[in-house]
Structure 1
């Protein structure tokens, strides 16, 4: 537990992070005391005065610490940041959202572009993006040591195989002093210019960020990412005559008594892995399911539906249910179960019927 003195010290340090307000006039005089003939005399110096210069500093941080989960085709998806004014003056901040083709720990590797990217300031301080309410696109008159939440809002396209878009927010210090109007970007006083006690110089003091954020440029940058968590799964189906009672296997025809093989091929275009995938196919009228004919596995070649697939019986128990696939027939519908369907790793399921 902090002592009272320590608590006061800690509070004071946090509250004064920006320091004495820029433009403050600091003046003092000195005195000299001396004795002449046993009499004490005092003389005052002139008053030395100077103006406190503007020490421009800020931080931009990502809120949440993880990627923003989203879905293909989603609109108005939000990533959240916080901008803190560590300048010893009230400041505006120009806000610029952009996208970076980079790879970052915890966020992933950028591999698709978001669309309609916008930036908005949290107007009511609730930390949640409210469309139509949070409309400001720059930070207006942010007090020293104060923070504000900023949102990047973007749309997610349908890009096959893509799953991560890394975005960043850049906040640039701008002149404050006129509410409702975005001030001009600040320009640092040249290091070749000597300090003038009657002028408020501008000194950039911001630290370098982790990437694309150099020190002392009056800007801060932070990164976040959108991560698509859904899978784009599609399926195709074919029907092939395997044999008939007259022609057997030589150019068989779909006559009564013929055997038809249905082939279902399911594909995941990503970016996420599909789990608990179930293929369901109702046996059509005019045909009869051939018991225990279901086979599930990798797509075959040379006309075969599956390649070294797993034969599944018609019930939902037994050894055949312990492999990566499963299957059943309930009297009307054939089902194939795929525990995990990876990106661009298709799986096929074949079953047979006879034509009544």
Structure 2
């Protein structure tokens, strides 16, 4: 069972907006500095004169070793939630982990979900399932199942950065909107390639500095739901259900009648009427796999091969720049992105997608009996 974040500690520590809430922005990072264990030695000299003679003498050599300063930064990549669909599997959120320690480190990785909603992240109302964490093995920034298998960061050099993926499944449940997740990286002992070391333990603050011992000092900052100087850092991301608000508008206009022709036609028997169905998507996401059906109204006869699909909607008029469809559902006209047919009772049209704020139309014509 995954670890859970139960306390909204340090909510006021986050000063960013949206999902870009990381303990340390990469642009503000300091470098790791002199490597831990390096010996620094220094010797002083003094010059003086006695009875007109110049003399010098040297001090003893003062030596100490550089202690280990544990620091790291975890950042979410992209700045926006991962848009997902209900029931989708292996959905990916992406992070980076940078080793700001002055030594090579392992890092243990945890994926957490929220028990409480964090206003800066958006309302959390469901949990993802089958949550996994993987390290980008080849540095291409893209999760590859079966390739990216490592579940911890192994022997990361000072100032080096790796990409880490949280991979999860989305439940097929009605009404869900967003799941907030976070990646927590914990400094671990290095030294044996291919093996995750135990969590690093800081030297007690009450222990006096020893010039011959490499002490361990935690130097990581605080962050949202994160304590300072604990050898850990986290960043947040979210899975958000994609949404598209699709609306239909249907209009009818008389094109001609048997008495007036094209001049001021009226809806009398024998008149030709064009129906225009406009498909509009208010967004924010693209709507896919759209099928429009329209039962032929009574007292009208469908005009064969009058169906057009995919034209740009303009008011209540179908601009006839769409795909011209014949009456069946097979043939060359079905090989383009749009499709359409008439089965003697119902007009059908298919559109592969409708982009937000770019309406598409379906048009066909009938004769009034």
Q: TM-score range by the shorter chain?
A: 0.5 to 0.7
The equivalences for 1:253-332 within 5 A come to 280=293, 290=298, 332=345
**Aligned twin of 2:195:** 181
Contact 1:112–1:159 at 8 Å: present in 2 too? no
Match of 1:214, SS state, is coil
Q: What is the CA-CA distance between 1:228 and the residue it aligns to?
A: 1.3
| Structure 1 residue 158: Cα displacement | 0.6
Q: What does residue 7 of structure 1 align with?
A: none
Once residues 278 and 40 of structure 1 are traced to their aligned partners in structure 2, the CA distance between those partners, rounded to angstroms, is 101
1:275–1:26 distance in 2 versus 1, CA, 3 Å:
closer
Say whether the 8 Å CA contact 2:30–2:100 is kept in structure 1. no
TM-score by length of 2: 0.61
> Retained in 1: the 8 A contact 2:101–2:159?
yes
Write the deviation string for residues 40-69 of structure 1: whole angstroms up to 9, x where unpaired: 111111111111111111110000000011
Give yes or no for the alignment of 1:207 onto 2:221: yes
Q: Displacement of 1:275 after TM fit?
A: 9.7
Q: Does 1:218 align with 2:231?
A: yes
1:104 to partner: Cα distance: 4.3
- Rounded to whole Å, the distance in 2 between the matches of 1:126 and 1:96 is 22
Give the equivalent residue in structure 1 for 2:305.
none
The match for 1:190 among 192, 204, 215 is 204
Verify the 8 A CA contact 1:71 1:229 in the aligned structure 2.
yes
The reply on whether 1:145 has 2:121 as its aligned counterpart is no
d(CA) in 2 for partners of 1:51 and 1:136? 34
Gaps of 5+ in 1: 1-12, 234-270, 284-288, 293-315, 322-328, 337-356
Q: Following TM superposition, by how much is the alpha carbon of 1:192 offset from its aligned partner in structure 2, in angstroms?
A: 1.1
What is the SS of the residue equivalent to 1:185? Answer: coil
* Cα 1:15/1:102, change in 2 over 3 Å: closer
Counterpart residue number, 1:98: 112
Kindly report which structure 2 residues correspond to 1:64-103, keeping only aligned pairs within 5 A, or say none: 64-100=78-114, 101-103=116-118
> Residue by residue, what CA displacement relative to the aligned partner does 1:267-309 show, whole Å, maximum 9, x if unpaired?
xxxx9897997663657xxxxx5459xxxxxxxxxxxxxxxxx
Distance 1:319 1:136 in 2: 57
CA contact (8 A) 1:163 1:272 kept: no
What per-residue deviation string (whole Å, max 9, x for no partner) do you get for residues 105-150 of structure 1? Answer: 3x42111110100000011010111111110000011111110000
**Displacement, 1:330?**
9.8
Q: CA RMSD in A?
A: 3.5
Distance across 2 between alignment mates of 1:158 and 1:232: 19
Q: Does 2:127 correspond to 1:125?
A: no
Correspondence for 2:261: none
Q: Distance in 1 between matches of 2:131 and 2:219?
A: 30
Distance 1:148 1:46, change over 3 A: same
- For the residue of structure 2 that corresponds to 1:47, the secondary structure is strand
**Cα deviation digits, residues 176-227 of structure 1 (max 9, x gap):** 1211111111111111111111111111111111x21111111000000111
Report the structure number with the largest CA radius of gyration.
1
How far the C-alpha of 1:334 sits from its partner, in A, is 6.9
Show CA shifts across 1:75-122 (max 9, x none): 1110000001111111110000111132343x4211111010000001
SS across alignment from 1:19 = coil
Q: Which of 40, 46, 53 in structure 1 is aligned with 2:67? A: 53
Change over 3 Å in CA distance of 1:20–1:282 after alignment to 2: same
Residue 353 (structure 1) aligns with: none
